[in-house]
Each structure stands twice: as C-alpha cells, then as structure tokens.
C-alpha cells in the first residue's frame, strides 16, 4: 500500500501516520452481498465493496441503511442471504462462527463489557477462549490496558465503576487482545458525550497509527466518518451503496443529491480540513508576558490589541485598548484583564480549516498560530487563508 | 409467654430419639432433598427458555399454575396413590420449590443486557459459553433470589411431612395438636420460624460469595454512571 | 363427579370460608400497607426500619405464626382470627416493599409538576403518586392473593376450615375424588381471584392501555 496521494496528503485532521512495513492482512471483500430478513425487508442490496487492509473504512448512512447489518455479516453475527464475503480470500461461511469471531475484533455501542468480570478479565476473554492459559492472558490484558491509555490499577475494577469513555477504551482493548488483523466497530462512540467522543476518536487514530489494523467502523455521524475514515462508504435507505470514496473526494464530488444532502451544507468549508496550511505566511505578534505592567502592555498594543503569553510563551488570551484604559498604569497584567482567545492554529498539524477558524474566532480578528509544542508562532488572518486557498486551486491541489 | 417456652427449654426434649436435634436434621434433610430435585428440574428449564427467548409465555404460565397448586392436596393425593413414605412429601415440596427456581432462572437470564450477550457472541463465544460464562453469572442475583424464596417456602412447609407419618419439626406441631399439648405445638412452630430465619441468613451469606462484586449496586467509587 | 354434585352444598360452604379467609387479609393488608409504604418512601429511617421488619415477618412461616399467635394475643387456638391476622401480616410484609419501591419510582418531575400546580401533599399522594404506583401494587396483590389461597389449605392440617378440609378428610377416608376436587377447586379459585385482580388493575389504570 502506498501513502495517500499528494492531493489530499495534507491531513487536516490528526490522521494516523502509517508505517510502511504493515503486512497486507485483513482484506475484506463484499461480493454481491444481499441480506433479506424473514419479514421480507431487504437490509443490504447487492453490495460490492472491498475494504482496504490496514486502513479505516467507515460505513455511514441514515438509520435503516444496512450499515450495521453489513458490518455484522462480516463476523456472521448476521448471516447473509446471497453473495459472499471474503476475509483474506476466505469465504466467511466456511468458518465456524465462534472461531471466525475470535479472529476478528468486535467493539459495540456502550462497549458491552461483562458486568460480572473485572476489567482485566474482560480484556482477557478472547485469549482465555482461545486457550492461552490465564496467566498469559492476564499479562496480555495488562499490556493492552496501557495501550488504550488506562492506568494499571483500573484492571481490578468492575465495568460499573468506570465512566462511559473508560468502558469504551476497555471495549477496544478487549477487541485487540489476540491482535486480530480486522476490527469491527459498531457505533462505538455514539453513547458517550461529545467531548469524550472527540477524545476517543483521537485516541483511535493514534492507536491506528501504531497498529495499522483493518478497521470497519459504523456510524450515523458524517463528521465522525470524515474525521476517522481513510475511506467512507455512504449507504442509503434500503441497503444501497451510494458512494465509496476518500473523505476529501466525498466532500468535493458527492456522487448524487442524496450524498450531497447527507454530507451537509457546509461541505466546502469542511473540505478545507483536508488541505495543509503549509504555505501560509504568518504575521508577527509582539506578545506581552503575564505579570508585565499595564504601562508595558499599552506600549505593545497594535491596532488596539495585544496577545498575552505565559512564561513558556504559550498564548493565554488577548488584551484590548478598551480594557486597559480603565486600569491603573502600575497594575500588572493578570487573568482578570484577559479576553479569552479563539481557537489556536497549529502550524505543524493544522489544516486550512483550523487556520481559518483561528482567525474567525479570535476577538482581534487575528488568529493565533502556535508550533507543535504550543509556543506562540505568529498571527494569521482570514484574508491570508483565502489567498492560500486560491493559490492551491490554481496549482490544481483542490479537486474542482 | 410461658406457654411458648416451657416445652422448648425443657432439656429432656433436646436429646434422644424424637429429640429436637434429630427432628431438626430430618427437617433439613427433607428441605435439602426437595430443593436439590427442584433445582435439577427447574433451573435447566428456566435457563434454556431464558437463553433461547422461546417459550417464555408457556413457562411463566406453567409456573403460575404450579404456584397455585395446593401443597397439602398434592401431598395427600400422592400418599393415596403411592403409599406412605418419603416420596409424597418430597414430591409435594419439590412442586412447591420449582416455580420460584424456574421463574428466577428464566427472569434472570432473559434480563441480561442484550449488548452484553451480543458482545459475548461477537468475541467468539459458543452458545454454551455464552450461557455458562456470561448469562448465568450475570443472572446470579435473580437465580439466587429464586432459590432463596424456594428454600424459605420449603423450610416453612416441610412441616407437612409429619402429617403423613414422617419426622421433621412438624412432628411437634401435629403431636401437640393431637395431645392438646399447646406448649409442644408452639415450641415446634417457633423452631420452624427460627430455622427459616437461619436458612435465610445463611443463604444471604452464600449469595454474597457466589454473586460477582461487579453486579452489586454501585456506590459510585469514582467514574460516572450511565 | 357424582360425589361433587352430591356435595355442592359442602363445596359452597368451603368456598365461602376459603374466600373469606384468603381475601379479607388481602384487603386489610392493602389498607394498612399503603400508609406504611408511603412512610417508607418518604423517610429514610422509616424505610430501613419497615423493610427490615417486613423482611423478617415475611421469613416467618405462616403456619408457625398461626400456631404461635394464640399465646401472644390470647386468642383461642383454632380461632379463624389467627389465620386472618397471620395472613394480613404476611400481605403487609409483601406489599410494604412494593408500594415503597413503586412510590419512589414515580418520576420526580411529575411530583414536582403536581406540587407546582398547587396540590397539597396528601391530595397529591391520592391524586398523583398512588395512582401511578397501582400497577406495581396490583402485581404485589396478585402474589399475596395466590399464596394466601394456598396457605389457607395448609391450615386445614391444624383444623382451619376451607378447601384444605377436602384434603384431610379425603386422606382419612382414602378417597381420591375428594382430594382431586379440592385441588381443582383451589386452582380455580386462584385463577378467578387472579383474573379479578387483573381486571380491577386494568379498570383503575385506563392510561396504561392507551398508545401502544
């Protein structure tokens, strides 16, 4: 497998940085797969699709579109009606379901942890089923607890003592226990609150960078699909595949009205997330240190604004001329005087989208740029972002 | 109060043939035997129906009919059909114990969260493993509730064995009744009551050991709950 | 069958006694258990106390209590009052917990809404909280009813009247028909009582049947 092509190389989102030494294990092929339930409803209709090994493929669509059914047919939690599904060339129907499932990681909504087993024993489930012996299975479980970023002490707890986000991490660890090449994830993050969900998504991408699994991920949330997917399969009601493409292509060239509607109104804006912001030129900022006097701060104002940094040069917020005018000269600059800053633009990983957002969300209309370590790097304006976008278009880097 | 205790605290009643220790052992023996048979019959039925989710309606209906069955009627009927012996009281007590055990196993297993069972299959458990490693352990609180309730009813009702010529603590109740010896009657009744409370305490203790701590009601020890 | 038709009078008398001995305690038990359950749902200490006591009372075998009661309250040994009191206690023990749990399960928003539109606590209990708890209360009553019906027959062994007499009498006369009649009559009574309770439950909670 090669890296993504140059067109979309700028991973605006924090994409996994794949190693090149991945083995190409875990190719999943759907060949004319149809699922018709007993009541006659067709959940999946003649699905042809190949899931790339070592990548994240997201199945997304409205409810009743057959995305979950498609996922569950891979490990035979649901048996298909006609067609075939091959995992690494082998028809899944040739395998005994329990044995097949032990070789495929499975993560579901609300984690589905076993309430009567400790966290460690939950993770050790599949190794024990596979006959590893308890001691070896436990040792593996301890490793995995660390892999998913949970403290070792948590291994002795029971699932009911964990938060939703922690439970979901344990669910992922359980799925990884015997290091299966394929991971099936069925709306794993939809039951946790948005902040935790974002953390789990980032964590999944970080893990995937290390592990390079073939992940099939089901969600109804197009933003989640675009954030996580190397490829996204959009399903429409009735189990029909509407489009199967990279997120950037999906946003730039939706196949039809259904996909256009589904990816949403602000897709042009979201597409900026796939463009690197490497070519942006930053303006200079003269920062004021926390603890400086108000007199010094007044000197630093430009167009009525100054950015304030802490002792490590990390930005803390903005000072305005208005705000300073009502304060005594000898006072020091502290948190009470600051106006909250907007989002920060990370010059190493950020996309055009995050640069634009930094500019738009800043009270001074100047976006604050930081380097990879969070140290103040300069300012960015919305005009500059649009100029860079225009340059990218003429250079043919943006799909028209 | 003397009426209640005069017989009970008379040392001569606490030894020898027909003494309280012997009657106590007999009473517990009938209880344990009936309970064991009821578990062997009722538990697999309840577990199977709970696991397959098929036939729940029939099972609940059967349990309700069995519950309404008058134990003394069964006892006397079996004596007339099969003769005096251990069989009639054990049959009657077993029929008494089956409904709570069967219903407890069924209710417990069918109430295990569907996501948990789905996850169990999804990680590659066979149906057998799903039942034994996930469903039964998670259903333990309700399974045990059924067994406790059955045990309580059987201890209370094992008194009737004495009515058809066997031993047990019921002996004192019926002998006292026949001899117009109220203190003996009351003494027997008190012993049954104390035994019932003790059995309940012991089973509550055993339940603590058998049920996974993960299934106890959570007293938030860190972490948010759903 | 001819035996049954020859003894319709007897069966009728026994039915009246059996119904009286098993139904009256359920009614009395319900009347007493409602305020107790309400108290248990409102005050933590009351809850702990009432649930512990009712757990203990529930554990004590009814037959034993019927026998012991005369010594405690100075009634006659074979007085039906002993049966009524025992089964009433038993019904209370069973209902207090379910009523307390059912009342605690009434959504706080509904109680708050009722308070907000001006209900005083007592009217609110009668008009809002208790009606919402009825399905659980009916479930408790059904259990109490069935077990009372079967316990009254056990009482026959120590001379209490009711269908149980068909068992003791049939046993002494070695007469299978009489015993079978008693079993069938008990089952029928349990079935009818259960249906009546379900029907009452449905009639007083019409809102549970709308929608789905």
DSSP-assigned letters across all residues of A60-112? E-STTSSHHHHHHHHTTSS--SEEEEEETTEEGGGS-HHHHHHTEEEEETTTT
How far apart, in whole angstroms, are the C-alpha atoms of residue B80 and residue C175? 8
Instruction: Tell me if A232 sits within 8 A of A60, measured CB to CB.
Output: yes
How far apart, in whole angstroms, are the C-alpha atoms of residue A225 and residue A376? 32
Binding partners of A (≥3 Cβ pairs within 8 A):
B
With respect to residue C78, please indicate whether it lies within any of the assigned structural domains: yes
With respect to residue C210, please indicate whether it lies within any of the assigned structural domains: no
What is residue A286's three-state secondary structure? coil
Which pLDDT score, from 0 to 100, does residue C128 have? 87
Query: Residue length, chain A?
Result: 400
Residue of B nearest to C155 (CA): B72
Q: For residues A375 and B216, which has the higher predicted lDDT (pLDDT)?
A: A375
What number of other Cβ atoms are within 10 A of residue C105's Cβ?
11
Kindly determine whether residue B73 and residue C62, on different chains, have CB atoms separated by under 8 Å. no
- Is some CB atom of chain B closer than 8 A to the CB atom of C169? no
How far apart, in whole angstroms, are the C-alpha atoms of residue B89 and residue B73? 11
Domains defined along chain A, listed by start: 16-264 (3.40.50.300), 288-394 (3.10.580.10)
Kindly determine whether residue A125 and residue B115, on different chains, have CB atoms separated by under 8 Å. no
Which pLDDT score, from 0 to 100, does residue A400 have? 47
With respect to residue C142, please indicate whether it lies within any of the assigned structural domains: yes
Which residues does residue C212 pair with via DSSP β-bridges, in sequence order? Answer: none
Residues of A in contact with B113 (CB under 8 A): 112, 115
Q: Do chains C and A touch (3 or more CB pairs under 8 A)?
A: no
Residue of B nearest to C174 (CA): B80
Which pLDDT score, from 0 to 100, does residue A396 have? 65
The number of CA neighbours under 13 Å toward the Cβ of C139 is 8
Residue of A nearest to B220 (CA): A161
What single DSSP character describes residue A149?
Answer: T
Instruction: Tell me if C182 sits within 8 A of C164, measured CB to CB.
Output: yes
How far apart, in whole angstroms, are the C-alpha atoms of residue B158 and residue B151? 10
Residues B33-83 have pLDDT tens digits of 999 999 999 999 999 999 999 988 999 889 988 988 999 999 999 999 999
Q: For residues C200 and A9, which has the higher predicted lDDT (pLDDT)?
A: C200
Residues of C in contact with B3 (CB under 8 A): 71
> Number of residue pairs across B and C with CB atoms under 8 Å?
127
How far apart, in whole angstroms, are the C-alpha atoms of residue B31 and residue B192? 12
How far apart, in whole angstroms, are the C-alpha atoms of residue B126 and residue B119? 12
Kindly determine whether residue C64 and residue B177, on different chains, have CB atoms separated by under 8 Å. no
Residues C105-138 have pLDDT tens digits of 888 888 888 888 888 888 888 888 888 888 888 9
Instruction: Tell me if A213 sits within 8 A of A23, measured CB to CB.
Output: no
Residues B167-180 have pLDDT tens digits of 999 999 899 888 98
How far apart, in whole angstroms, are the C-alpha atoms of residue A230 and residue A22? 16
C163-192 average pLDDT score: 92
Tokens of C70: 């005369």
Residues of B in contact with A161 (CB under 8 A): 218, 221-223
With respect to residue C114, please indicate whether it lies within any of the assigned structural domains: yes
**Does B209 score more than 80 pLDDT?**
yes
How far apart, in whole angstroms, are the C-alpha atoms of residue C139 and residue C197? 9
Residues of A in contact with B221 (CB under 8 A): 157, 161
The nearest CA of chain A is from the CA of B21 a distance in Å of: 40
Which pLDDT score, from 0 to 100, does residue A272 have? 79
Residue of A394, A399, A377, A361 lying closest to A274 (CA atoms): A399
ipTM: 0.85
Residue of A148, A96, A98 lying closest to A122 (CA atoms): A148
Q: What's chain C look like in SS3?
A: CHHHHHCHHHHHHHHHHHHHHHHHHHHHHHHHHHHHHHHHHHCHHHHHHHHHHHHHHHHCCHHHHHHHHHHHHCCCCCCHHHHHHHHHHHHHHHHHHHHHHHHHCCCHHHHHHHHHCCCCHHHHHHHHHHHHHHHHHHHHHHHHHHHHHHHHHHHHHHCCCCCHHHHHHHHHHCCHHHHHHHHHHHHHHHHHHHHHHHHHHHHHCHHHHCCC
What single DSSP character describes residue A179?
Answer: -
CATH of the domain at C106: 1.10.3720.10
Which pLDDT score, from 0 to 100, does residue A8 have? 31
With respect to residue C32, please indicate whether it lies within any of the assigned structural domains: yes
How far apart, in whole angstroms, are the C-alpha atoms of residue B159 and residue B169? 6
Instruction: Tell me if B68 sits within 8 A of C186, measured CB to CB.
Output: yes
- End-to-end CA distance of chain B: give it in Å, rounded: 54
Question: In Å, what is the CA distance from B8 to each residue of A361, B20, B186, C70, C159?
Answer: 86, 9, 8, 16, 23
Instruction: Tell me if A216 sits within 8 A of A135, measured CB to CB.
Output: no
Kindly determine whether residue B76 and residue C56, on different chains, have CB atoms separated by under 8 Å. no
With a pLDDT cut of 90, the percent of chain B lying above it is 69
Residues of A in contact with B214 (CB under 8 A): 114-118, 158-160
Kindly determine whether residue B224 and residue A163, on different chains, have CB atoms separated by under 8 Å. yes
How far apart, in whole angstroms, are the C-alpha atoms of residue A36 and residue A39? 8
Token pair 């259903």: residue? B139
Tokens of B217: 């009601």
Instruction: Tell me if C162 sits within 8 A of C150, measured CB to CB.
Output: no
- Is some CB atom of chain B closer than 8 A to the CB atom of C113? no
Residue of A112, C63, A93 lying closest to B186 (CA atoms): C63
Instruction: Tell me if A104 sits within 8 A of A182, measured CB to CB.
Output: yes
Of A109, A129, A158, the CB nearest to B124: A129
What is residue A378's three-state secondary structure? strand
| pLDDT bucket at B218, cuts 50 / 70 / 90 | low
Which residues does residue B71 pair with via DSSP β-bridges, in sequence order? Answer: none
- Is some CB atom of chain B closer than 8 A to the CB atom of C27? no
Tokens of B129: 């493993």
Instruction: Tell me if B63 sits within 8 A of B99, measured CB to CB.
Output: yes
With respect to residue C58, please indicate whether it lies within any of the assigned structural domains: yes
Question: In Å, what is the CA distance from A260 to each residue of A38, A66, A250?
Answer: 33, 19, 9
Q: Is A319 left (phi over 0), alpha (psi -120 to 50) or beta?
A: beta
Residues of B in contact with C194 (CB under 8 A): 64, 68
Which pLDDT score, from 0 to 100, does residue A18 have? 59
Which pLDDT score, from 0 to 100, does residue C97 have? 87
CATH number given to B21-212: 1.10.3720.10
Which residues does residue A257 pair with via DSSP β-bridges, in sequence order? Answer: none
With a pLDDT cut of 70, the percent of chain B lying above it is 95
Cβ burial, residue B15 (10 Å; 0-12/13-18/19+)? exposed
Which pLDDT score, from 0 to 100, does residue A10 have? 34
**What are the extents of the domains in chain B?**
21-212
What single DSSP character describes residue A14?
Answer: -
Which pLDDT score, from 0 to 100, does residue A397 have? 62
The nearest CA of chain A is from the CA of B146 a distance in Å of: 19
Residue of A346, A367, A372 lying closest to A356 (CA atoms): A367
Q: Which domain holds residue C18?
A: 2-205
**Does C35 score more than 80 pLDDT?**
yes
Query: Residue length, chain C?
Result: 212
- Output the tens digit of pLDDT for each of chain A's 400 residues: 333 333 333 334 445 555 545 557 889 999 999 999 999 899 999 999 999 999 999 999 998 899 999 999 999 999 999 999 999 999 999 999 999 999 999 999 888 999 999 999 999 999 999 999 999 999 999 999 999 999 999 999 999 999 999 999 999 999 999 999 999 999 999 888 888 888 899 999 999 998 899 999 999 999 899 989 999 999 998 889 999 999 988 888 889 999 988 887 777 777 777 777 667 888 888 888 888 888 888 888 888 888 888 888 888 888 888 888 888 877 888 777 788 877 888 887 778 888 888 888 888 888 888 888 888 888 888 888 888 888 777 776 655 4
Instruction: Give the distance, in angstroms, between the CA of residue B4 and the centroid of all CA atoms in the same chain.
Output: 28
Residue of A103, A207, A111 lying closest to A165 (CA atoms): A111
Of B71, B77, B177, the CB nearest to C154: B71
Which pLDDT score, from 0 to 100, does residue B225 have? 35
The nearest CA of chain B is from the CA of C121 a distance in Å of: 31
The edge-to-edge listing of strands for the beta sheet with A315-320 is A288-289, A305-309, A315-320
Of A106, A159, A160, the CB nearest to B122: A106
- Is some CB atom of chain A closer than 8 A to the CB atom of B2? no
Instruction: Tell me if A338 sits within 8 A of A292, measured CB to CB.
Output: no
With respect to residue C211, please indicate whether it lies within any of the assigned structural domains: no
**Does C6 score more than 50 pLDDT?**
yes
Q: What's chain B look like in SS3?
A: CHHHHCCCCCHHHHCCCCCHHHHHHHHHHHHHHHHHHHHHHHHHHHHHHHHHCCCHHHHHHHHHHHHHCCHHHHHHHHHHHHCCCCHHHHHHHHHHHHHHHHHHHHHHHHCCCHHHHHHHHHCCCCHHHHHHHHHHHHHHHHHHHHHHHHHHHHHHHHHHHHHHCCCCCHHHHHHHHHCCCHHHHHHHHHHHHHHHHHHHHHHHHHHHHHCCHHHCCCCCCCCCCC
């Amino acid at each position: 497998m090669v890296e993504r092509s140059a067109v979309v190389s700028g991973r605006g989102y924090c994409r996994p940085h794949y190693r090149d030494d991945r083995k190409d294990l875990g190719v999943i092929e759907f060949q004319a797969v149809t699922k018709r339930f007993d009541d006659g409803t067709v959940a999946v209709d003649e699905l042809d699709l190949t899931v790339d090994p070592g990548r994240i493929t997201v199945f997304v669509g409205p409810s009743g579109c057959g995305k979950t059914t498609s996922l569950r047919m891979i490990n035979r939690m649901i048996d298909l009606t006609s067609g075939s599904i091959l995992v690494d060339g082998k028809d899944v129907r040739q395998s005994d379901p329990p044995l097949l499932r032990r070789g495929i990681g499975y993560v579901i909504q609300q984690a589905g942890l076993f309430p009567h087993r400790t966290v460690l024993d939950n993770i050790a489930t599949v190794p024990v089923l596979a006959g590893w012996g308890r001691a070896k299975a436990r040792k593996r479980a301890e490793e995995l607890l660390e892999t998913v970023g949970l403290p070792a002490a948590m291994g002795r707890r029971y699932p009911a003592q964990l938060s939703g986000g922690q439970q979901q991490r344990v669910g992922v660890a359980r799925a990884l226990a015997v290091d299966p090449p394929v991971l099936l994830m069925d709306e794993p993050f939809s039951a946790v609150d948005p902040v935790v969900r974002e953390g789990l998504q980032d964590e999944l991408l970080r893990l995937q960078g290390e592990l390079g699994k073939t992940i099939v991920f089901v969600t109804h949330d197009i933003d989640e699909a675009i954030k996580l997917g190397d490829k996204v399969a959009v399903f429409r009601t009735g189990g029909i595949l509407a489009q199967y493409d990279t997120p950037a292509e999906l946003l730039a060239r939706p196949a039809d009205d259904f996909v256009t509607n589904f990816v949403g109104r602000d897709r042009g804006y979201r597409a900026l997330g796939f463009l690197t912001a490497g070519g942006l030129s930053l303006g200079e900022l003269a920062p004021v240190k926390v603890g400086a006097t108000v007199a010094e701060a007044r000197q630093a104002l430009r167009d009525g604004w100054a950015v304030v940094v802490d002792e490590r040069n990390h930005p803390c917020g903005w000072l305005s001329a208005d705000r300073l005018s009502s304060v005594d000269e000898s006072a020091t600059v502290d948190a009470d005087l600051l106006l909250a800053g907007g989002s920060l633009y990370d010059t190493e990983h950020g996309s055009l989208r995050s640069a634009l957002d930094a500019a738009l969300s800043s009270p001074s209309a100047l976006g604050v740029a930081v380097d990879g370590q969070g140290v103040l790097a300069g300012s960015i304006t919305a005009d500059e972002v649009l100029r860079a976008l225009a340059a990218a278009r003429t250079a043919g880097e943006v799909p028209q | 109060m003397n009426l209640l205790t005069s017989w009970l605290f008379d040392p001569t009643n606490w030894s020898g043939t027909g003494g309280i220790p012997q009657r106590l052992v007999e009473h517990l023996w009938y209880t344990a035997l009936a309970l064991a048979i009821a578990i062997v019959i009722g538990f697999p039925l309840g577990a199977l129906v709970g696991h397959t989710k098929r036939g729940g309606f029939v099972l609940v209906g059967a349990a309700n009919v069995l519950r309404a069955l008058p134990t003394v009627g069964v006892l006397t009927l079996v004596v007339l059909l099969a003769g005096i012996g251990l069989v009639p009281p054990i049959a009657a007590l077993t029929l008494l114990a089956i409904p709570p055990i069967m219903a407890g196993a069924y209710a417990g297993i069918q109430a295990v969260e569907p996501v948990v069972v789905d996850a169990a299959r999804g990680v590659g458990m066979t149906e057998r493993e799903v039942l034994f490693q996930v469903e039964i352990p998670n259903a333990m609180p309700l399974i045990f509730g059924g067994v406790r309730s059955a045990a309580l009813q059987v201890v209370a009702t094992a008194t009737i064995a004495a009515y058809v010529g066997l031993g047990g603590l019921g002996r004192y109740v019926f002998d006292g009744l026949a001899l117009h010896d109220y203190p003996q009657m009351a003494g027997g009744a008190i012993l049954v009551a104390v035994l019932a409370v003790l059995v309940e305490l012991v089973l509550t203790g055993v339940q603590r050991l058998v049920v996974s701590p993960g299934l106890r009601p959570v007293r938030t020890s860190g972490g948010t709950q759903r | 069958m001819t035996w049954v038709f020859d003894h319709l009078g007897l069966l009728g008398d026994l039915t009246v006694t059996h119904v009286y001995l098993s139904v009256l305690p359920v009614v009395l038990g319900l009347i007493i258990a409602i305020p107790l359950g309400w108290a248990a749902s409102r005050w933590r200490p009351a809850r702990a106390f009432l649930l512990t006591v009712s757990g203990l009372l529930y554990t004590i075998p009814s037959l034993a209590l019927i026998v012991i009661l005369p010594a405690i309250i100075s009634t006659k040994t074979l007085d039906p009052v002993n049966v009524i009191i025992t089964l009433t206690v038993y019904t209370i023990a069973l209902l207090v917990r379910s009523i307390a749990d059912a009342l605690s399960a009434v959504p706080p928003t509904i109680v708050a809404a009722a308070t907000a539109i001006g209900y005083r606590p007592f009217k609110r209990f009668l008009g809002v909280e208790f009606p919402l708890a009825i399905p659980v209360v009916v479930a408790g009553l059904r259990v109490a009813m069935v077990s009372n019906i079967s316990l009254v027959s056990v009482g026959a062994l120590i001379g209490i009247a009711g269908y149980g007499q068909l068992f003791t009498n049939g046993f002494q006369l070695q007469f299978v028909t009489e015993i079978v009649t008693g079993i069938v009559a008990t089952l029928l009574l349990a079935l009818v009582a259960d249906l009546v309770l379900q029907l009452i439950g449905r009639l007083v909670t019409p809102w549970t049947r709308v929608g789905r």
